[in-house]
Structure 1
Amino acid sequence: MHKGQAMVSSKEVARLAGVSQATVSRVLNNPTGVRQETREKVLKAMEQLHYKPNLIARSLITKSTKLVALISGSLSNGYCVETTDSIVQLLMRHGYKTIVFFEGTANLKDILDSVLSNRVDGILMSSIKLEEPLFDGILASGIPYVFFNRRPRTGGNYVVLDNELAGRLIAQHLLDLGHERVAYVSGPANISTFLERFTGFKTAMEVAGAVLDSEMVMEVDASSPEEVEKATWKLLNRDTPPSAVVYATDAMALIGMDVAMSMGYRIPEDVSVAGMDDIKMAAHAAIQLTTVRHHRFTMGEIAAEMLIDMMEKCELAQSPRQIVLKPELVVRKTTARRRL
């Protein structure tokens, strides 16, 4: 459009395309509800007239910005990076843009304040604690939301893994290999994922009659490589080190493997190592980490699709929508039968 040229209206587009102005509006707001032949005529008319829809006006009329806020975990966690990509791509295919915030880049309260003060149609969030005082603010905003990977104790809408079962699967695998002296490195217990995974692990060990030495359980900041390194060094430097170490995430397990090998340990000959999440790097030919698969892409995509359904129905669920996915043990080359 040249300087001084009047802005093209949707009425002019409708006239050129030979359709009603309402049809032009439907093509802009709900293109799948318009016949392909009609849609193509309207799009061609828009191109010929250099028509640019007024997005601000549209958002005021429809009360929709087609914008979703994604509040994810730490960038140091491979799972968060991978799920973020799949979620952004899925939302884009449905016509939504995504604003992404990563835990640790700013205070969570500041992030939520920024999200709630802007016009977003929905919130996807994997960065939330069990006892989360900010949850009430999300509910009060009336904005559709879905948590994934983590959940608050009070529930809400979420898609999570059956983390207790994941912990039990890893423990049982190591018990079946003859390991009884197993160490566990976890993230903070105020996060549902970490608490539930350890609970499942501990339950399986106790049922089998295996002694779980409290000094063999380490709780660290999962986003801090330094803390994971220190915990691993302390465990493997004990007078009687563990024959196996379980890490609550693959990201931590990869750090632990590096430390163990730098100390002269062979994996799995001297110590077995297992993680949870099955991030892409876990399957690398040079690593082959035993882990628990939890359909890392599926979880984020299910959460995004749930949110899209809530946003497009323009209503909050009358009762919480909650999906719990079943985990699957993936046995690779970092675990082996305990040497006698």
Structure 2
Amino acid sequence: MQYLVLSLLTLLLVGCQEQAPQTSSDADPRWVKTAVVMADTARALSLTGVLRARHETPQAFRISGQIATRHVDAGQSVRLGEVLFTLDPSDLEETLAASRAELAAAQASLAVAEADLVRDRQLLEQNYLSRQAFERAELSMREATTRRDAANARLAESRNALGYATLRAEADGVLIDVNGEPGQVVGTGQTVARLAHDGPREVEVSFPAHWRPPQKGELQVGERQIALTRREVAGAVDPATLTWRARYRLEELLEERGLGDVVEARFMLNDTKATGYFRVPVAALDERGNGSQLWQVVDGKAQPLPVTPERTTREHVWISGEGLEEGQAVISLGTHLLTPGMAVRPLSEEVAP
């Protein structure tokens, strides 16, 4: 009996020792790294833009047909009048031949009408022809003349159409896009290439919907700053991207960059535009399921705080939302592992042994 009691006491002590560490582990909060919410009081806004030509025009045939030859590639420099594409001229040449034959027939008819009018005038003078018959000859003469003029116009139109079968560059520049291929049937006005004219260069920038593009800015090219002046801005916000599209003229030449290059532009904004926006590290933003949120420590527990992202860079994100204050501490690492009410403890509270 005494041995049985000792065995039961031993098992009870072992069970308590195995359960105690588990209870202690559940009670220990997770150590978390925190960062401070910073108010966005800076008046400078840095955005990326794309280098464009002042004039970019689509190149297209003025008639429909099948492409016979292609003489250029994307990225190629071309000169004014240089051949880009040609169409199959077979039908156009037949039309030109028919127009020439029609003109010849009209000219022959006109010659006959002229001869008849001369003869009828002589007969009228000798009283061998009535005035009515002579006037009918005059009308035939006018009709033949009109037919001759119409045939001339159709011949000129056919010649122009044959000339339109050769597409030439309308200016000096660079082809930034070429999509026509031999054998392709194209319609009148269908774009087969896009030409960026030589000359002034511009920067196209997209601004967030809540910032109206300013009049001035500067382009950052290494250690060099090039002044920018706004030339145009879209009349409305793009509904797909919720941005203002603006074009800025470069006040200096920029030869070291090519068309389509992504560049960095900086703009000065009014302080009122920055009111209500805060900056936190990118890692602090949690965008799981229910929208964007930050995590703050409230009474030793992690609690979500809904926010709205406004702009993001590699290191920081600009946000807005209710309950945000400058200097507020938020969890800045491992936010994807947090759950509401989880016990946490900032590393700043860690005490050395």
Q: TM-score, normalised by structure 1?
A: 0.21
Choose between structure 1 and 2: higher strand proportion: 2
Choose between structure 1 and 2: higher helix proportion: 1
Q: TM-score, normalised by structure 2?
A: 0.21
Query: Larger relative CO (CA 8 A, sep 6+): 1 or 2?
Result: 2
- Whose Rg is larger? 2
